[in-house]
Structure 1
């Protein structure tokens, strides 16, 4: 875990930015010895946001399953995908 005083961001922005990119980890900034901000590079932020969104979606699906919502077998999903591909291929050609 990288912890730096908040003054470090003003004094060493490029070093902090490089460290964020190299480690792909957030840097925690303190103010008066207390946690204040978290800084991370945009790629790390986007990756974490995508992961959180995926986890939320998986949790929602699992909650639906636990409540008894109908699911699909592998064979049913494969058939639906084949049907969608055939439909897309049919609409994508000029006849």
Structure 2
């Protein structure tokens, strides 16, 4: 269940708000004069949100590329190609 607190709690109860966002792994929504104003979250939550946004963007770009390019490759072709590239990189790293 989302935590909704007045913005004054950020000043008066900072330690409690920090504990809530870290323990619950959920953001705390702050209100000002009864209206939504800010969201407080842990850095871990923020980084996860950014990563999700990055993944969504990459998937959208891949979908657009797939729709514009009719070329389709078989899994075996891709698998062999990736294994060869990996073997080359490992060989270079060991040299």
Normalising by the residue count of structure 1, what TM-score does the alignment of the two structures yield? 0.89
Which residues of structure 2 form unaligned runs of 5+? Answer: none
For the pair 1:51 / 2:49, whether they are aligned, the reply is no
What are the superposed Cα offsets for residues 25-47 of structure 1, whole Å, 9 maximum, x if unpaired? 11110111111101001111111
In the alignment, which residue of structure 1 is the partner of 2:82?
A: 81
Superposed CA RMSD: 1.4
Q: 1:90: Cα distance to partner?
A: 2.2
Q: 1:13: Cα distance to partner?
A: 0.3
What are the superposed Cα offsets for residues 26-73 of structure 1, whole Å, 9 maximum, x if unpaired? 111011111110100111111111011101101110111122353432
> How far apart are the structure 1 equivalents of 2:71 and 2:37?
46
Which residues of structure 1 form unaligned runs of 5+? Answer: none
> How far apart are the structure 1 equivalents of 2:43 and 2:75?
37
For the pair 1:64 / 2:60, whether they are aligned, the reply is no
> How far apart are the structure 1 equivalents of 2:56 and 2:91?
35
Q: 1:91: Cα distance to partner?
A: 1.4
In the alignment, which residue of structure 2 is the partner of 1:15?
A: 16
> How far apart are the structure 2 equivalents of 1:42 and 1:89?
35
Bigger CA drift: 62-71 or 81-90? 62-71
